[in-house]
Amino acid sequence: MLFTNKKSDVLSQSTQCAAVFAYGDTLLASADAIDKQQGGALSALITNHDLKDKPGSKRWITMPVEPKRPYQRVMLVQLGKPTGKKSTSLSSDSLLTALSALANALSHAPVKDAAIYIDDIFSAGMSIQHGDETVGAGWLAEQLAVACQKACYRYTETKSKPDPTPSLNKVIYTSVDANRLKLVRPALIKGSAIGSGINYTRQLGNLPPNICTPDYLAEQAKILAANSEKKLTARNLNQKQMEKLGMGAFLSVAKGSAEEGRLMIMEYKGSSAANAKPHVLVGKGITFDTGGISLKPGGSMDEMKFDMCGAASVFGSMKALVEMKAKVHVVALVAAAENMPAGNASKPGDIVTSMSGQTIEILNTDAEGRLVLCDTLTYAERFKPKSVVDVATLTGACVVALGNHATGLYSNHQPLADKLLAAGIQSNDKAWQMPLWDEYQKQLDSNFADMANIGGPGGGSVTAACFLSRYAKKYPWAHLDIAGTAWHSGARKGATGRPVALLVNYLVNA
């Protein structure tokens, strides 16, 4: 999708759809201009209560055909009801709701392009309150591009009669202020890239596990590199190579499957940061998780194809960095395997030796993600990283603790944690910091090995993070548990693309 910005006004900008806005019972400038031209057609929608005062309420108006009229359709979108009689502060939550509704409507409409007059809020002297900060046109343009990209995603890969592809292929951020437009262009590029990365993550997560295997992900890494204008390189390690490195924990998970495990290494070098120490992303890529010998219940087991969403978010983040030509140096490590029950699969009570030399008693084969991650975290040491962030659908306990709204964040380095938390707020992809206290480490004690791979029923997300922390002592490290945020269940079943927005905003600001 093409995103562009233009200095123009609603009565002269040629477009198939002019998207204009109301704030309560007030029409913003572009909506007011159309209203006056059309004899009160828009204000009547408010007066007659056809347009509700809830954020995201919208009404379409199809105009009679006139050769001189630059717009064919008008969409009037409600930003919400002012908190006071003369309130000029607009909450970002209301604005994001309105942008999402606008984007979804456009994605289902028979229009190829749309001019968006959301910049009118600044012309009206209004401000956007986002958390404790006031944000400007750049933030707004980024969120608009992300919303439009996300709204146009359709899963079609395995459908014999897929839903129609959205017609929308061009969005114009329109303003009468040339100075604000200077802030908008790079923000549109960034938002478009993040949205593209989110959709790529969703696509990988939604693919069935008989297609999206470790080998498939390895091939995707090569394709991503081939389309990167030589900014990204990709290679992978097979099981024999991992055996030579002593990755006993990783291989204990992969050995029960006919699909060979893979460790993918992608490296992105932005132009001005190629020689800087890299930031490392580590993604858990269990392309299907049966639980192994500790077999999961059958209900909803199909959703265990989403157990590779940590890896998918790493892929999506790398795609976004490539598309926006980010000036950063990032290494991505994707640990991909299937966790299957078989005659040679790991058993509860087995003891394996990790790449670090530490031994692990496997008390539950369904706690496999930490086993592939711990060896990958050790492998990350060779890059002498500036930071390491691992992303994993690691524990159901995190869903119990935080639900589906916030990603669980653990870190051994508070400045890194603070940057990730700030990136989550900035991008509306929030995380919440959880404790990583020594008291929890005792739950991993084993009579027969250096540690067990589970810590008992209490604090399951915390003890999983404690386990990983034992392999991340040589660099600033953070762990993102996305078990509650990586996908939706029920009627909305599908991958969400989180936390790509958080990761990309962290990386470009780090």
pLDDT at 285 over 80: yes
Taking the CA atoms of residue 293, residue 296, residue 302 and residue 306 in that order, the dihedral angle to the nearest 10 degrees is -80
CATH of the domain at 75: 3.40.220.10
Question: Beta-strand (E) ranges in 404-449?
Answer: 407-411, 431-433
Statement to judge: residues 479 and 358 lie in one domain: yes
483 part of a folded domain: yes
Q: Are residues 358 and 213 in the same domain?
A: yes
H helices, E strands: number in the chain: 16, 23
Let me know if residue 187 belongs to a domain: no
- 175 with 319, same domain? no
Q: What is the pTM of this model?
A: 0.97
Residues 138-149 pLDDT 10s: 999 999 999 999
Q: Which residues contact 392 (CB under 8 A, 6 or more apart)?
A: 283, 284, 310, 369, 373, 479, 480, 481, 482, 483
Same domain, 174 and 263: no
pLDDT value at position 65?
A: 75
Query: Is 194 part of a structural domain of the chain?
Result: no
pLDDT-derived band at 358 (thresholds 50, 70, 90) equals: very high
**Are 282 and 359 contained in the same domain?**
yes
Q: Report phi then psi at 74, rounded to 5.
A: -125, 135
The single residue of 296, 347, 386, 474 carrying the catalytic annotation is 296
Rg (CA), the chain: 25
Active-site choice (190, 370, 430, 498)? 370
Q: Does residue 228 contact residue 268 with C-beta atoms inside 8 Å?
A: yes
CA distance 315 to 336: 12
Q: Is the pLDDT of residue 255 over 90?
A: yes
Q: Which residues contact 126 (CB under 8 A, 6 or more apart)?
A: 23, 88, 89, 90
pLDDT(66) > 90: no
Contacts of 322 (CB under 8 A, 6+ apart): 193, 224, 227, 228, 229, 231, 232, 268
Instruction: State the residue range of the domain holding 175.
Output: 2-179
The reply to whether 381 and 491 lie within a common domain is yes
Pair 219, 161 in one domain: no
For residue range 477-496, list pLDDT tens digits in order. 999 999 999 999 999 999 99
pLDDT in tens, 84-129: 655 788 999 999 999 999 999 999 999 999 999 999 999 999 999 9
From the list 184, 191, 187, the residue with the least C-alpha distance to 5 is 184
On whether both 398 and 498 belong to a single domain, the answer is yes
Report the distance separating Cα 339 and Cα 347, nearest Å.
12
Whole-number pLDDT of residue 125: 93
Instruction: Respond yes or no: is residue 370 known to be catalytic.
Output: yes
CATH code where residue 355 lies: 3.40.630.10
Listed in order, strand segments (DSSP E) in 340-415 are 351-353, 359-361, 387-392, 407-411
pLDDT at 23 over 70: yes
